Structure 1
Amino acid sequence: MPSIFAYQSSEVDWCESNFQYSELVAEFYNTFTNIPFFIFGPLMMLLMHPYAQKRSRYIYVFWVLFMIIGLFSMYFHMTLSFLGQLLDEIAILWLLGSGYSIWMPRCYFPSFLGGNRSQFIRLVFVTTVVSTPLSFLRPTVNAYVLNSIALHIVYIVCQEYRKTSNKELRHLIEVSVVLWAIALTSWISDRLLCSFWQRIHFFYLHSIWHVLISITFPYGMVTMALVDANYEMPGETLKVRYWLETIGPWAALCGNPGDGQE
C-alpha cells in the first residue's frame, strides 16, 4: 500500500493529463487555478473588516479557511496524494460548518434548539468534529456529499429570495445560484464524462470549477450576510458595493436602517 504522502496515492484522478508540464506537478492547470483563493480571501477580509467587527470576528476564520482550501487543493492537485485529498475535503467541511454557524438564520434552526445560536454552533461543531474522521472511511464519496450540502444552502437562499423585495439581494441570489450551478456542472462533467472530454482534448473543466467556485463564495458570503442582517442586525444596514464595476461584491456597513433592505 503506498504512503498517503506519495504522488498519485489518491483514488481520485481528474481529467487533466498528469505531469504534462512538470515532473513535480501532476495536474498543472488544476493546481494553479487555485490562485484566486489567495486573492479573494485577503481582499474580502479587508473590505468587510467593519462588518466583521460588528457582526462576528469568526468571519475572519471563514476567510482563513477559504484560503486554506486553496492551499490544500493546490497540494492535492500537485501530488494527487491521499493526504492532499483528505486535507482538501476536510477544509471544505470546516468552511461549510463555519458558514452555517455564523449566518444560518434562526428560523431554520432545528425546533429543539429554540432559536438559540450558541446551541446551534455547538451542534454544528460536534457534527463537524464527528464527520472529520469519517472522511477517512469513504474519501471518494466525500466530495459528492460536500457538494450535496450546498443544496440545503440553495434551498435556504431560495426561501429568502421569495421573502425579500430588495433588488440588490435578489440580484446577488440570482448570480450566486447561477455561478454555483455552472461550477457544479463543470465539476460533475469532469468527473463523470472524462472519456468524452479526453476525446475532444478538453481537460480543463475542473480548472474552470476552481475559478468559478472561488468567485461564487464571495457572492454567496455577501448574500448570506445580507440575509443574516435582517435577523441579527436590525439597527444596521448592509449595502452592496463592488470592487470591480459590477463584479466582486462586498457588504458595506451603514447605520441608517431607512436605506436598508426589506
Structure 2
Amino acid sequence: MSSDQIQKWFEYESGHAWCESAYKYQTLPYVAEFANSLTNLPIIVLPLLNIMLLRKYLQNVNMGLIFPQLLLTFNGLASTYYHATLNLFGQLVDELSLVWIITVFLVVYIPVMKWFPKKFSERLCLVRWITLIITAVVSGLCFLEPNLNAIALMLFSIPAAVVLNYEGTHSGIPDIERFPKRVLALWGAAFSFWFADRLLCDFWLYLGTPYLHAVFHLLAGLAGYTIFIMFSMIDIETRSKSHRFTAAVRYFPDKNGSIFAFPYISLKERTHNVNVSVFDSPGKPKKLEEEFGEN
C-alpha cells in the first residue's frame, strides 16, 4: 500500500458523506457535519454512567463488563471524529469499533447467555479465542470495500435481534422483560432514519431538514445503552449466589419507563458479607468464602 493511499485516508472528505454534508462547515469551520458530530455525546457518556453506577460490582465480581462499554464510548469518539472530518480513516475506525464491540460483548457475556450450550463452558477460553480470530479476519475484510461496511453491520443486526429477544424473554428477570421490545423499537426507528438519510437525501434537502442521521445516533445510542443495562442485569442475577449485590432497574426522568426514558441500575449491597474472586463462568468460582452477619 503506497504512502499516497494511506495519506488519502486522513484527508478531509475522503470517506462517505451523509446528507448533512450539504451544509458542511457552516456551524463550525473545522467540523463538516456538526449535528452528526454532536449527537454522539450520549453514545460517549451513557456507557460511562453505567460503569460508574456498577463500579462496586465491577471491582468485586466481574471487571470484564467494563470493556464492551468502554468500546461503546470509544465508538462515540470515533464517530465524532468521522463526522467532523468525513475522512476514510475516521469512517473505518467508527465501523471497526462496532465490529469489536460485538466481539467483546460476546466474549464477556457468553457465560451468562441462555443460548450458549453449557457443555461448552469448559472450553470457554477456546470459544473466546475463535471469536477473536474470526473478528480479526472480518476486520481485515472491512478495508476491501468500505462503502459496504455499514450495510453489512446493519444486516448483522437481524441475528443480533433474535439473540436479544431470546435472552430477554428467558431471563426470568421482571425488570428487563420489556427490554427486547424496547430495544427493537428504538433500533427499528433508528434504522428507518439511517436508511431514509442515505437514500432520500434530496427530499430532506428540499424540506431543509438533512439531520436524520443525527436522529439515528440518538436512537441507536439509547438502544445500545439499553442493551448493556439488560445484560448487566442478567450478569448480576446469574451470579447472584456468588456476591452480595442486588440490583433493580430505574428510569429517568419518567419513572414509569416510557420508551425515551433512560433506564439505569440501582445497585445495593446485602447485609451479609461475601468475598468472591473473579471466575471464568457463572456458578463455578475459583474461590468462594461467605461470612454471614452484620457488616
Question: Scaled by the length of structure 2, what TM-score is found?
Answer: 0.77
CA distance in 2, matches of 1:87, 1:164: 34
CA distance in 1, matches of 2:121, 2:242: 23
The structure that has the greater radius of gyration is: 2
SS in 2 for 1:19: coil
1:55 to 1:96, Cα distance in 2 relative to 1, 3 A: farther
Which residue identity is paired with 2:250? R
1:13 to 1:181, Cα distance in 2 relative to 1, 3 A: same
Matching residue within 111, 120, 126 for 1:119: 126
Displacement of 1:161 in angstroms is 4.0
- Are 2:21 and 1:14 aligned? no
Q: Trace 1:224-243 onto structure 2 (pairs within 5 A).
A: 224-229=231-236, 231-235=238-242, 237-242=246-251
Displacement of 1:238 in angstroms is 3.3
- Are 2:179 and 1:175 aligned? no
Which residue identity is paired with 1:14? W
Tell me if the contact between 1:65 and 1:91 (Cα under 8 Å) persists in the aligned partners.
Answer: yes
Greater relative contact order (Cα < 8 A, sep 6+): 1
Which moved further from structure 2: 205-214 or 190-199? 190-199
1:45 to 1:160, Cα distance in 2 relative to 1, 3 A: closer
Which residue identity is paired with 1:27? E
- Write the deviation string for residues 9-60 of structure 1: whole angstroms up to 9, x where unpaired: 11x1111122232331111111111122332132111011123234421222
User: Residue in 1 aligned with 2:101?
Assistant: 95
User: Residue in 1 aligned with 2:77?
Assistant: 71
Which residue identity is paired with 1:101? V
Tell me if the contact between 1:186 and 1:206 (Cα under 8 Å) persists in the aligned partners.
Answer: yes
- Write the deviation string for residues 182-214 of structure 1: whole angstroms up to 9, x where unpaired: 111111111122222222222111000111122
Tell me if the contact between 1:168 and 1:240 (Cα under 8 Å) persists in the aligned partners.
Answer: yes
Over the aligned positions, Cα root-mean-square deviation in angstroms equals 2.5
1:242 to 1:196, Cα distance in 2 relative to 1, 3 A: same
- Are 2:250 and 1:250 aligned? no
CA distance in 1, matches of 2:37, 2:235: 34
Tell me if the contact between 1:218 and 1:250 (Cα under 8 Å) persists in the aligned partners.
Answer: no
Tell me if the contact between 1:113 and 1:119 (Cα under 8 Å) persists in the aligned partners.
Answer: no
Matching residue within 130, 140, 150 for 1:133: 140
Q: What are structure 1's unaligned runs of at least 5 residues?
A: 257-262
User: Residue in 1 aligned with 2:285?
Assistant: none
Matching residue within 54, 57, 63 for 2:63: 57
CA distance in 2, matches of 1:73, 1:198: 23
Same amino acid, percent of matched pairs: 27
**Residue correspondences, number:** 255
Which moved further from structure 2: 165-174 or 136-145? 165-174
Which moved further from structure 2: 54-63 or 234-243? 234-243
Which residue identity is paired with 1:91? S
1:137 to 1:203, Cα distance in 2 relative to 1, 3 A: same
CA distance in 2, matches of 1:155, 1:221: 16
- Are 2:178 and 1:145 aligned? no
Displacement of 1:91 in angstroms is 1.1
Q: What are structure 2's unaligned runs of at least 5 residues?
A: 256-260, 271-295
User: Residue in 1 aligned with 2:32?
Assistant: 26
SS in 2 for 1:21: coil
- Write the deviation string for residues 226-256 of structure 1: whole angstroms up to 9, x where unpaired: 3344545455653213354433223344567
- Write the deviation string for residues 147-167 of structure 1: whole angstroms up to 9, x where unpaired: 222222210122234435543
Which residue identity is paired with 1:77? H
Which moved further from structure 2: 84-93 or 243-252? 243-252
SS in 1 for 2:262: strand
Matching residue within 82, 86, 93 for 2:92: 86
